[in-house]
Amino acid sequence: MKKGALIGCGFFAQNHMHAWADVDGAAIIALCDRDDKRLQETAERFGIERTYSDAVDLMKSEELDFVDIATTVQTHRPLVELAARSKVHIICQKPFADTLEDATAMVDATAAAGVTLMVHENFRWQSAIRAAKAEIEKGSIGTPFWGRVSFRSAYDVYASQPYLATDDRFIIQDLGIHILDIARFLFGDARTISASTKRVNPAIKAEDVATMMLVHESGVTSVVDCSYASRLSRDSFPESLLEVDGSEGTLRLMPDYRLVLHNASGTRELHVSPPLLSWAERPWHNIQESVYNIQRHFIDCLNTASTPETSGMDNLKTLELVEAAYLSAAGNSRTIILGSA
């Protein structure tokens, strides 16, 4: 049994706790949060007896195999470095870091300490996205040459996470990072990116719409687009939709988790709706399922001493795309060559 502690008991961390309760071979034995009300409410909800307001005290007092860091991005580096010094494995929420410098420092610190570092980049772990990837790898549409990963909605994300309305960066850093990671997952690493952003909602500080074009090393050109300002007749929040064209056919992940494949053999439709976990609720169930999937993968990696799919080192490439997208948007959509941003 791998013993862990959760640091940060906020809104999304409740999903972490539910998922940990379902992951075989893992148990959260302690909680840490500077907000006492939030800490005690979470402890009572999940039956956790040992609680801390200071992460240093947590590390000194508990014998842990891992920590789950679900705090704000500004706290990630000191907490990751603290865990690394304590020789404790780490799964850390996204965005992993505010800067590539901080992200690289965390990757280096954990490598030097010999501990596993995984980023909680969970969107690629949705069953619908995994099903689309499996069809591409099977060759169902031949060799992909074009793709689109899209997330468009007018859902009020600010109600439960009000800081999103006041941050200097919004949709690329908070949501686009997921959608860019899906593009990497499906099509491989990118060589170039260009981006355009816009603020439609006058009540927020940063961008709520972003459109990005990537040219991947595999030869695929992809469009990654996100919006929290799109008032649709039928809002598919929180689904990520896919379009992939290949040399032998096409793949479309449509609303309501309909995966449509067309090739010379005809058209077939698969229903790839995620399971509704006992603690999940619609329409969040696809996100909640992905939390369980990624945390199960993390424990599997600890048990087999293998590298997580979304390791800290891997996530540097997604963070580089985020930084390059902002740089491109600031330069009137100029093309950024990755590695030179």
Domain ranges, ordered by start, for the chain: 2-115, 126-280+317-337
Distance (Å) of CA 73 to CA 51, 174, 331: 22, 11, 26
CA-based max dimension of the chain: 63
Residue 155, CA atoms < 13 Å, CB-side half-sphere = 18
In the prediction, which pLDDT does 300 show? 98
Note the helical H segments in 114-245.
127-138, 171, 177-187
In the prediction, which pLDDT does 340 show? 59
The rounded radius of gyration (Å) of the Cα atoms in the chain is 20
In the prediction, which pLDDT does 160 show? 84
Q: How far apart are CA 219 and CA 222, in angstroms?
A: 10
Contact assessment for residue 236 and residue 255, using Cβ atoms and an 8 Å cutoff: yes
Number of residues assigned to the chain: 341
The position carrying tokens 């071979």 is 25
Element (H, E) at 82: helix 76-85
Q: Which residues of 284-312 are buried (b: 16+ CB within 10 A; e: fewer)?
A: ebbbbbbbbbbbbbbbebbeeeeebbbbb
Mean pLDDT of successive 10-residue stretches along the chain, which has 341 residues: 97 97 98 98 98 98 98 96 98 94 98 98 97 98 98 94 91 96 98 98 97 98 98 96 98 98 98 96 96 98 98 97 97 89 49
In this structure, the number of other CB atoms found within 10 A of the CB of residue 86 comes to 18
Domain at 2-115, CATH homologous superfamily: NAD(P)-binding Rossmann-like Domain (3.40.50.720)
Decide which of 3.40.50.1110, 3.20.20.70, 3.10.580.10, 3.30.360.10 is the CATH code for 126-280+317-337.
3.30.360.10
DSSP at 316: H
